């Protein structure tokens, strides 16, 4: 007799040529530590109750992106059936889904993204909701190439560019976007091209790195952090993971009073990762190219909405729209930014830094 325990049961089944039933992975405690263990959050369609509980707490479910300023964007874009438009930063596809609903099966939407991992997931998700090639075309294309897209498919009557990094990218430790989880220090939106953040750090001088931290993230301890990073690398140390960079930042700020150190390290980590991400993906250069080419991609009266998430982006968009208005390229522009409501920020903490600006092609 093999026994009545779990091991005995498995052996008995195997001898009978049967595969014993495998229990699916469960949360280990109330707060799973691994991204892969959050299977309920990674399958939002199946576990809607779980997702809603996470959202109600003001958090974003793992592997899911909550679209920001949806109502404000749709109110401005005024999408009607039969129009042709662009979601220049497809991401999770939340904004695209709402824009497709406005089209009511007539017209066309083009969705652009450079992320080879997420673009296929989003394409499948939107196809599963009934939006086929006849109304939705998904292109793996950088929005800096909006001129090429417009040459083939334009001009466009509406366009949205959400410049925020998708929550799917932030939450997945394998992408290296967050200091909160162990993962490779990558930070590339397209991991198949360019250099990772770990490789980039090996190239920069202390002066260049400090400048990067100030320009891209307004980091108040840029000099101290840059000095610590470059010194560590020159001594033969490695910075190849998110946690190793976090530890160096923490060490660089050890001079701060203990009462304020923890919060300062947290904020500096967020800023350093932002600065590196902007640099690695050439985000300012890409945005500048997009803004220069944008007017020519739009039809007369075409409406443009852009969501930014930090001051550097917002300055570029504001400047471009103002110059366009003076030059007669845009008939109207947003004089003031539109921000998410307090209710939306309470429901989605990642909305707090969002700013929306708009322009209308003359």
Q: Do 75 and 145 fall within a single domain?
A: yes
In total, how many domains does the chain have?
A: 3
**Residue of 285 and 349 predicted with greater confidence:** 285
Two structure tokens written together for 231: 């010194």
- Please say if the pLDDT value at position 33 is more than 60: no
Report the b/e string of 195-205 with b at 16+ CB within 10 A. ebbbebbeebe
Question: To the nearest whole percent, how much of the chain has pLDDT over 70?
Answer: 82
Q: Within a domain: residue 172?
A: no
pLDDT given for residue 53 in this prediction: 54
Q: Do 74 and 50 fall within a single domain?
A: no
Q: Do 80 and 159 fall within a single domain?
A: yes
Q: What is the CATH number of the domain that holds 233?
A: 1.10.150.170
pLDDT given for residue 297 in this prediction: 97
| Backbone dihedral region for residue 93 (phi beyond 0: left; psi -120 to 50: alpha; all else: beta) | left
Q: Within a domain: residue 311?
A: yes
* Residue 325, preceding peptide bond in cis (omega within 30° of 0): no
Distances (CA, A) of 263 to 47, 126, 173, 226: 34, 40, 22, 19
Name residues whose C-beta falls within 8 Å of residue 30's C-beta, 6 or more positions apart in sequence: none
- Please say if the pLDDT value at position 39 is more than 80: no
Q: Do 154 and 83 fall within a single domain?
A: yes
Confidence label for 23 from pLDDT (cuts 50, 70 and 90): very low
Query: What average pLDDT score do residues 54-61 get?
Result: 47
Q: What is the DSSP annotation of 75-87? A: HHH---TT-EEEE
- Please say if the pLDDT value at position 266 is more than 50: yes
- Please say if the pLDDT value at position 227 is more than 70: yes
Q: Within a domain: residue 352?
A: yes
Q: Within a domain: residue 182?
A: no
Q: Do 295 and 337 fall within a single domain?
A: yes
Q: Within a domain: residue 37?
A: yes
Confidence label for 4 from pLDDT (cuts 50, 70 and 90): very low
Confidence label for 17 from pLDDT (cuts 50, 70 and 90): low
Last residue of a domain, one of 246, 280, 314: 280
pLDDT given for residue 46 in this prediction: 59
Last residue of a domain, one of 280, 307, 340: 280
Q: Which domain holds residue 28?
A: 6-56
Question: To the nearest whole percent, how much of the chain has pLDDT over 90?
Answer: 63
Confidence label for 9 from pLDDT (cuts 50, 70 and 90): very low
- Please say if the pLDDT value at position 324 is more than 90: yes
Query: What average pLDDT score do residues 222-240 get?
Result: 95
* CB-count exposure of residue 324 (10 Å: 0-12, 13-18, 19+): buried
Q: What is the CATH number of the domain that holds 121?
A: 3.40.50.150
Q: Do 274 and 288 fall within a single domain?
A: no
Q: Do 319 and 348 fall within a single domain?
A: yes
Q: Do 22 and 82 fall within a single domain?
A: no
Give the residue from 297, 312, 324 showing the smallest Cα distance to 355: 312
Q: Within a domain: residue 288?
A: yes
Q: Do 263 and 320 fall within a single domain?
A: no
- Please say if the pLDDT value at position 24 is more than 50: no
Per-residue pLDDT reduced to its tens digit, 208-225: 999 999 999 999 999 999
Confidence label for 154 from pLDDT (cuts 50, 70 and 90): confident
Q: Do 114 and 160 fall within a single domain?
A: yes
Q: How high is the mean pLDDT of the chain?
A: 84
pLDDT given for residue 45 in this prediction: 58
Confidence label for 65 from pLDDT (cuts 50, 70 and 90): low
Name residues whose C-beta falls within 8 Å of residue 128's C-beta, 6 or more positions apart in sequence: none
Last residue of a domain, one of 280, 315, 346: 280
Q: Within a domain: residue 186?
A: no
Per-residue pLDDT reduced to its tens digit, 328-361: 999 999 999 999 888 888 888 878 889 999 999 9
Two structure tokens written together for 79: 């999408």
pLDDT given for residue 352 in this prediction: 87
pLDDT given for residue 3 in this prediction: 46
Q: Do 112 and 135 fall within a single domain?
A: yes
* CB-count exposure of residue 146 (10 Å: 0-12, 13-18, 19+): buried
Q: Within a domain: residue 139?
A: yes
Per-residue pLDDT reduced to its tens digit, 85-112: 999 999 888 999 999 999 999 999 999 9
Q: Do 149 and 222 fall within a single domain?
A: no
pLDDT given for residue 28 in this prediction: 42
- Please say if the pLDDT value at position 327 is more than 60: yes
């Amino acid at each position: 007799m093999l026994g009545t325990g779990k091991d005995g049961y498995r052996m008995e089944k195997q001898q009978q040529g049967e595969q014993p039933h495998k229990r699916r992975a469960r949360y280990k405690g109330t707060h799973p530590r691994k991204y892969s263990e959050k299977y309920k959050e990674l399958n939002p369609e199946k576990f809607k109750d779980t997702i809603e509980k996470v959202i109600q707490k003001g958090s974003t479910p793992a592997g899911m992106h909550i679209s920001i300023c949806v109502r404000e964007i749709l109110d401005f874009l005024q999408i009607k059936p039969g129009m042709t438009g662009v979601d220049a930063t497809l991401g999770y596809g939340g904004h695209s889904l709402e824009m497709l609903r406005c089209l009511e099966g007539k017209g066309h939407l083009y969705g652009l993204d450079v992320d080879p991992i997420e673009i296929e997931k989003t394409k499948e998700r939107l196809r599963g909701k009934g939006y086929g090639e006849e109304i939705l075309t998904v292109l793996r294309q950088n929005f800096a190439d909006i001129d090429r897209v417009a040459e083939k498919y334009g001009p466009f009557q509406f366009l949205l560019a959400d410049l925020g990094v998708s929550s799917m990218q932030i939450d997945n430790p394998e992408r290296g976007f967050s200091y909160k989880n162990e993962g490779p220090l990558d930070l590339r939106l397209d991991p198949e091209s360019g250099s990772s953040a770990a490789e980039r750090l090996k190239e920069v001088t202390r002066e260049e790195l400090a400048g990067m931290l100030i320009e891209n993230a307004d980091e108040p301890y840029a000099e101290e952090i840059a000095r610590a990073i470059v010194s560590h690398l020159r001594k033969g140390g490695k910075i190849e993971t998110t946690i190793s960079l976090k530890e160096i930042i923490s060490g660089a700020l050890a001079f701060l009073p203990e009462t304020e150190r923890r919060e300062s390290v947290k904020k500096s980590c967020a800023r350093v990762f932002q600065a590196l991400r902007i640099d690695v993906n050439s985000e300012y250069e890409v945005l500048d190219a997009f803004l220069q080419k944008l007017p020519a991609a739009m039809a007369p009266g075409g409406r443009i909405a852009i969501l930014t998430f930090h001051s550097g982006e917002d300055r570029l968009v504001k400047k471009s729209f103002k110059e366009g208005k003076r030059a007669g390229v845009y008939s109207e522009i947003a004089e003031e930014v539109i921000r998410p409501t307090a209710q939306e920020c309470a429901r989605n903490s990642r909305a707090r830094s969002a700013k929306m600006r708009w322009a209308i092609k003359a």
